[in-house]
Structure 1
Amino acid sequence: MRNKTLLMFSAWLFLICFSTTAASQSTTTPASKNPLRITGNLITQAETYFVKGIETTRQPFTFLTSGNFDPEIYGVKLPFSFLLSNRSFNFAQPFNRLGISPEYKWLRLHFGYRNLSFSRYSLAGHTFLGGGIELNPGLLRLSALYGRFKKKTIPDNTVNPMDTLIAPMRYGYAVKLGVGNEKNFVDLIFMHIKDDTLGNYAM
């Protein structure tokens, strides 16, 4: 009988959490005010994989780096997040995610990979790739978005001939119109999500 051994090593290379504030002279506020403020965190993970006696199904070395940064310049908030990795398994391709949501007073814009919540029963924090806008002047509550909610996946039969599951691309849009505040409000939500036909992915 062949001797099968499996060695798997996982390590955190960096775990950096920081909160910094940069100060300089403001043109519209007193010198004691900070026109530039930056907070955020950065995490990097690395993993090595080795197997003997059986066919390997994973990469020998993978890494994943993610971060969230929240710079604020003269009252304009520019939250920014990213995720970088070289991981590539049966159904997953190497993925890189980038998103930003600039905000000023009652206006917020969304670009890239973002997630929004309209209600617990419709759009509830689902991640999408696209764009969106939120307007909350006074009692008005207006939000809209459009993007891709799911990327198509096609199985790799060269790795496992039994893998036949195909996931179509999912895209859509949503609009929310309402009045009120965070505690008391009335919202009207319209959401349209559509899957592409599986016929487009015939193998």
Structure 2
Amino acid sequence: MSTPLDTLAAPWRHEEEIKKSRFVAQASPVDTPAAALAWLETAGDPAATHNCWAYRIGDAYRFNDDGEPGGTAGRPILAAIDGQGCDRVAVLVTRWYGGIKLGVGGLARAYGGSAAECLRLAPRTPIVATGRLALRCEFGELALLTARLRDMEAVVEREVFTAEGAELVVSAPRDRLDAIAARLVDLTRGRTTPRRLD
């Protein structure tokens, strides 16, 4: 069984000075590669010496050394994301050069360490695997079912009205889908039979 991953509950920032160079690590939750790139575009400082970054969203990841020697910035930032058990996260580490060269190992430690500390301090939230159910119900049952779905931490994603009632698509934590489906069958005395969509 894989270890559960976290994403960030909110963007976070961490700053440190390493041998007269200033490093500012910023991290943000992101849902898509396009969202990660858009955030990175706005979070960087064009006046800084380097804006190095990485993101991971499931199996999708990218990193950029922004002029630092290859493998000394972006890859260590990505390693920090993975090492901190994060997903759906983008991290940008901005450096203002302070006049002292850090060397290849020093750069990797500075970028990776700043990113890891930023993620360690940031507020996090677990990523919960969700699934979806589709169901039909009569008009008279709709208010009761939507109220019970909220109680069971399920979210109505789509609601379409038909001549007979309503068709719903509901998302909920994957490990609770079977229990939610059984409860809906009970509530409607078998008139609805939810089916899993994924």
User: TM-score, with normalisation over the residues of structure 1?
Assistant: 0.20
Structure ranking higher in strand proportion: 1
Compare relative contact order (CA 8 Å, sep 6+) and give the higher one, 1 or 2: 2
User: TM-score, with normalisation over the residues of structure 2?
Assistant: 0.21
Structure ranking higher in helix proportion: 2
